[in-house]
Structure 1
């Protein structure tokens, strides 16, 4: 008599990567989703490099990227269009990771750096450098970083009541963001006309003035910041269960939370210094990535890839589909506003 032992399903299939004493577990679905997103991002980047007043074929673009093409085609692809595409990819990924950090940390899908005031603080710091100091891009990065950090400290202190709860921090952040928006408007109104017009256009979130200097400096800052973000991703997932549960698993909650806030603010400040505040990507990208990967919580890699895709696709729509070229921030506001309305609608239906 044979006994049939049923197969026990212990969960989703995972990919285990081992190197000596280090082991990394990845869900197969997340790996497949990230691969598909990477291919989509690459295809969209090639399309953006092809499109313009001087149309190019995919072969010409690939030849220019590999150094086989010279002359006007090389200049158009490498010198004119590639910095904008690279900036959209790098800055979109940075915003996606920043949004994933804050939404996981506060356990709230509305925890966007723009909504809770950190983007406005970075914008204020950058505006002071532009209108008062008239500084270089490196000084602009420093001003945006200081403004974002000061805002983060202010929001953290004002929201602290025997600990920091996500809902209270969001409410305080919304109030601080409104105050900083008024201050930014006052700074622009008091500035000279030329400076005010350039600052207002830059404040809409635009990649028009991006050069290789912005890409290199901003990309280096983002690469440096992604390293601690990856190192803190495991404590971040454990902190989603609550501070007490994370502490019981050996996580030093306060230092980990402080480090994650610093990384998230620095990523937002780096993007704001280069292109102005590009809204809603950090709100939308983590949620889309989570739904595509179907993970229990928000993971950084899908959020980064979706953020890069959203920023690049929005810039493509702003430059080549809109009746007149627009700042990328206008397109992201339209997309993000639609998503925010959908999120509020689904939450309202869930409570009925």
Structure 2
């Protein structure tokens, strides 16, 4: 390789790295701005200095309850749940080499939802009991999807198809539970299914933060192996990647992130589906977009929650807004895939 060729390669690598760092910094600043807005704006607006005093522990009549009990848990849950949805969705899409391989499309989020609906409608449970059941169910359903897709050898297409089939079955079960349940209990289940940051408690935040930080660090640490897996199993094996071990680690980390975030906020629609493609467009080809996907996920949740609260005459849960944003993109993606298939 000539010296000029090596120089061009280094130059291209440097440009991609600078762009990646710049995009992440901008996304982080935008996320921080939305966090501040969520603490400042509400039924009653407070100054930034008041917010800082309350967070520092100073008691201010009215402001302390509004900020510490309502707005702070809502904001933190939105940030870390959004980050979890974003980075986990991107991991699945990259590993399976398919933009449709999002956790809320291949049945993982539905696995958590069916347990939560069953607990609310049949067992009349609420609070942490529903969250624990949703977490366990999401992990079990994800394990079932993986085992069924493994067969004699792992197949990306088989996992996606089995996941879509199981999601359809679970959604039918959820519809049956809603149809057969008392009208008094149905609104609670529907609020949970829509995905919402309402009623977030500060007690739930530390565990959510711990889970998101730990599993996100593991996924980011496996970024190089994930990028190699995207090139295909044969190529990855040639480069010495232990594909089965790496794949299981990535799936487990992503499933825990999705299941835990869903157990706290409910299934916020299309955040996992949208974050990866948006981040890929921002950072450009060839760059690792795990961190960027997480930040985009946090931005989508926070921005959609702000829109749902203040942009319309009626307040909508965050999942309704993200669903409105995500559905047109999914239709566009399906049309594009269909056209490529015909070509």
Aligned residue number for residue 330 of structure 2: 340
Q: Over aligned residues, Cα RMSD in angstroms?
A: 2.4
Of 190-199 and 86-95, the range deviating more from structure 2? 190-199
Give a deviation string over 1:101-155, Cα, whole Å, max 9, x none: 1001100111110110111011112333334445565543432233222222332
Q: How many Å apart are 1:325 and its aligned residue? A: 0.8
Q: Is the Cα–Cα contact under 8 Å of residues 237 and 297 in structure 1 kept in the other structure?
A: no
Q: Is the Cα–Cα contact under 8 Å of residues 106 and 167 in structure 2 kept in the other structure?
A: yes
Q: Is the Cα–Cα contact under 8 Å of residues 286 and 298 in structure 1 kept in the other structure?
A: no
TM-score normalised by length of structure 1:
0.88
Aligned residue number for residue 203 of structure 1: 193
Aligned residue number for residue 9 of structure 1: 8
Q: How far apart, in 2, do the equivalents of 1:35 and 1:297 lie?
A: 15
Map 1:152-231 → 2, pairs under 5 A: 152-160=142-150, 162-231=152-221
Greater relative CO (CA pairs within 8 A, separation 6+): 2
Aligned residue number for residue 22 of structure 1: none
Instruction: Call closer, same or farther: CA 1:151–1:293 in 2, change over 3 Å.
Output: same
Give a deviation string over 1:293-349, Cα, whole Å, max 9, x none: 113265210000000000000000001112111111100000001222333454466
Q: Is the Cα–Cα contact under 8 Å of residues 202 and 276 in structure 1 kept in the other structure?
A: yes
Instruction: Call closer, same or farther: CA 1:349–1:302 in 2, change over 3 Å.
Output: same
Q: How far apart, in 2, do the equivalents of 1:138 and 1:61 lie?
A: 28
Map 1:262-341 → 2, pairs under 5 A: 262-296=252-286, 299-341=289-331
Of 134-143 and 245-254, the range deviating more from structure 2? 134-143
The match for 1:120 among 103, 106, 110 is 110
Instruction: Choose between structure 1 and 2: higher helix proportion.
Output: 2
Of 285-294 and 122-131, the range deviating more from structure 2? 122-131
Of 249-258 and 59-68, the range deviating more from structure 2? 59-68
Q: Is the Cα–Cα contact under 8 Å of residues 128 and 143 in structure 1 kept in the other structure?
A: no
Q: How many Å apart are 1:186 and its aligned residue? A: 1.8
Aligned residue number for residue 147 of structure 1: 137
TM-score normalised by length of structure 2:
0.90
User: How many residues matched?
Assistant: 338
Q: How far apart, in 2, do the equivalents of 1:302 and 1:181 lie?
A: 31
Give a deviation string over 1:43-98, Cα, whole Å, max 9, x none: 11112222212122334334433456733333322222111111111100000011
Residue segments in structure 1 that go unaligned for 5+ positions in a row:
16-25
1:107 aligned onto 2:106: no
Q: How many Å apart are 1:172 and its aligned residue? A: 2.0
Q: Is the Cα–Cα contact under 8 Å of residues 247 and 253 in structure 1 kept in the other structure?
A: yes
Q: How far apart, in 2, do the equivalents of 1:293 and 1:66 lie?
A: 36
Q: How far apart, in 2, do the equivalents of 1:146 and 1:139 lie?
A: 11
Of 188-197 and 303-312, the range deviating more from structure 2? 188-197
1:38 aligned onto 2:37: no
Q: Is the Cα–Cα contact under 8 Å of residues 95 and 281 in structure 1 kept in the other structure?
A: yes
Aligned residue number for residue 235 of structure 1: 225
Q: How far apart, in 1, do the equivalents of 2:205 and 2:310 lie?
A: 22
Instruction: Call closer, same or farther: CA 1:91–1:35 in 2, change over 3 Å.
Output: same
Q: How far apart, in 1, do the equivalents of 2:23 and 2:220 lie?
A: 18
Q: How many Å apart are 1:259 and its aligned residue? A: 1.6
- The 3-state SS of whatever aligns with 1:10 is helix
Give a deviation string over 1:192-250, Cα, whole Å, max 9, x none: 43332211211111111211122222222222322322232222111111111112222
Q: Is the Cα–Cα contact under 8 Å of residues 108 and 255 in structure 2 kept in the other structure?
A: yes
1:260 aligned onto 2:250: yes
Q: How far apart, in 2, do the equivalents of 1:9 and 1:297 lie?
A: 17
